[in-house]
Structure 1
Amino acid sequence: MVRVLSYNVRSMRDDRRALARVIRACAPDVVCVQEAPRFFRWRKHASLLARESGLVWVTGGATACGPMILSSLRAHVEHTEDILLPRTPGLHQRGFATAVLRIGGARLSVISTHLSTNAHERYEQAGLLLDRVAAAADGAHTVVGGDFNDHPDGRSFRRIAAELQDCWAVRPWGAEYTSRPGDPFQRLDAVFAGKEVEVLGCGVPVGLPGVTDRDLRAATDHLPVLAALRVPAGT
């Protein structure tokens, strides 16, 4: 089994220790981070989050304009690449952090992403994401974690879900909505997986031992999404 966490950390501007406690309690093998620190001394902050969470930095951060990947020591890193996406003037630069990881006998092509708030640009980025999935390394199974800035009934979300499994929709576990308690109920964050991956459960890890409501509120303005996956052995 592989545990994949997707988490928008809001540039670690909130309670960093609460953030690290939430991540540790989820015991992830891979973390797809959005809004990682990307300005002054960003590498130091990324390394600090990884260390306090019991993980290692794999790729991304400023070099992907926010998306980042962390992993446990179970993962062997085969390849990494940070990709900048075409930018619409006046809007934020966006990117993908990507890595091919081997965990046990499984090979994962992991993408962390944070799509645009602009509907047209977001739809185009969803297409670029699927292009990247199609170009994944032979024998590697796809996992995508991100803040998609779109609801499940939105055009961009549906475009991705037509090609990949929306893990919450396949096997709901925990809570659904990823906005912080007290905010409007919405699910903008998700983990997607290739259709050959078995989804054992996916959702916001409320009630998980060590994950407290207080820490979830203090850590960032998003809630994390944790997916437990059974990934076929690769070559």
Structure 2
Amino acid sequence: MQLRFASYNIHKAVGLDRRRDPDRIISVLREIDADVIALQEVDRRIGDRASVLSRAALDDTPWKPVQLAKRPRSLGWHGNAILVRREYDVIEAEPLDLPTLEPRGAVRADVECEGRRLRVIGTHLDLSGLRRRDQIKAILAHHGECETGCPTVVLGDFNQWGARSGAMREFGDGWQLLDPGRSFPSRQPVARLDRIIASGEWDVHTAAVHHSALAVQASDHLPVWAMLEMHK
């Protein structure tokens, strides 16, 4: 079974033209056409933390949001959200608090697809390398404590420049650190901030940055994606 996973920091739907345009973000998601999508900066950070992507707008897309929000107008947790194709069954979903001085979090969803269970964890890590290390440790600890083990993909904005340096060393044997490419800033990307990490149960076919004219304008990050195949 092959699945396309994507991660996209949407910058609260504010593009390089400084306009907030949720429809533009959805158009980019349609270009990528992923089966599972982790979004970052999807909710505002003040007030009622309302999502910049409304559920009504998503109703006309192939994806449904995983129910993670603790606030009625939010789509995710600390700006992190997960979208999956409508035909997939969400078995479990949970927001995670991460150790930090500012609000940071992760979201975890176990999904059934074609009779197989898989886990996706989306996150947006700290700017501080030390805190990133602690946050990855917390994510891996949560993953290890889940009652049911299954093929897992961790993806998001890791705020880490080096592909295998610093906090990324916390992913030990058994994890595949993919290198989609440079994704930030979108106009002239120089940093590999957006990452996809797969457990050993996946074969990696492709990992890349989605670089289109629309994606360059829609956010300060470009989306990254990977085509993975689950072992039989």
Total equivalences in the alignment: 218
- Work out which of the residue numbers 81, 84, 87 in structure 2 matches 1:68: 81
Give the percent of matched residue pairs that are identical in Structure 1 and Structure 2.
28
* Matched residue type, 1:24: R
Kindly provide the CA deviation profile for residues 119-173 of structure 1, in whole angstroms up to 9, marking residues without a partner as x.
21111111111112222442421111110000214311232265521123xxx6x
Structure 2 equivalent of residue 209 of structure 1:
none
Contact in 2 for aligned 1:81/1:98 (Cα 8 Å): yes
Deviates more, 1:139-148 or 1:32-41: 32-41
Runs of 4+ in 1 over 6 A off after TM superposition: none
* Matched residue type, 2:8: Y
* Matched residue type, 2:168: F
Larger helix percent: 1
Deviates more, 1:197-206 or 1:155-164: 155-164
CA-CA distance at 1:201 after TM superposition: 0.8
* Matched residue type, 1:74: E
Consecutive unaligned residues of structure 1, counting only runs of 5 or more, are 207-212
* Matched residue type, 2:177: D
CA-CA distance at 1:115 after TM superposition: 0.6
Contact in 1 for aligned 2:207/2:226 (Cα 8 Å): yes
CA-CA distance at 1:19 after TM superposition: 1.4
> What is the TM-score normalised by the length of structure 1?
0.83
- Work out which of the residue numbers 14, 18, 24 in structure 2 matches 1:18: 24
CA-CA distance at 1:83 after TM superposition: 1.2
Quickly say closer, same or farther: Cα 1:163–1:120, change in 2 above 3 A: farther
> What is the TM-score normalised by the length of structure 2?
0.84
After TM superposition, the structure 1 = structure 2 runs for residues 152-231 of structure 1, keeping only pairs within 5 Å, are 152-160=163-171, 162-168=173-179, 176-183=181-188, 185-206=190-211, 213-231=212-230
Quickly say closer, same or farther: Cα 1:183–1:54, change in 2 above 3 A: same
- Local SS of the residue matching 2:170: helix
Alignment RMSD = 2.2
Deviates more, 1:93-102 or 1:8-17: 8-17
* Matched residue type, 2:98: L
CA-CA distance at 1:13 after TM superposition: 2.4
Cα separation, 2, equivalents of 1:27 and 1:158: 31
Contact in 1 for aligned 2:10/2:219 (Cα 8 Å): yes
Kindly provide the CA deviation profile for residues 13-32 of structure 1, in whole angstroms up to 9, marking residues without a partner as x.
23322211111121111111
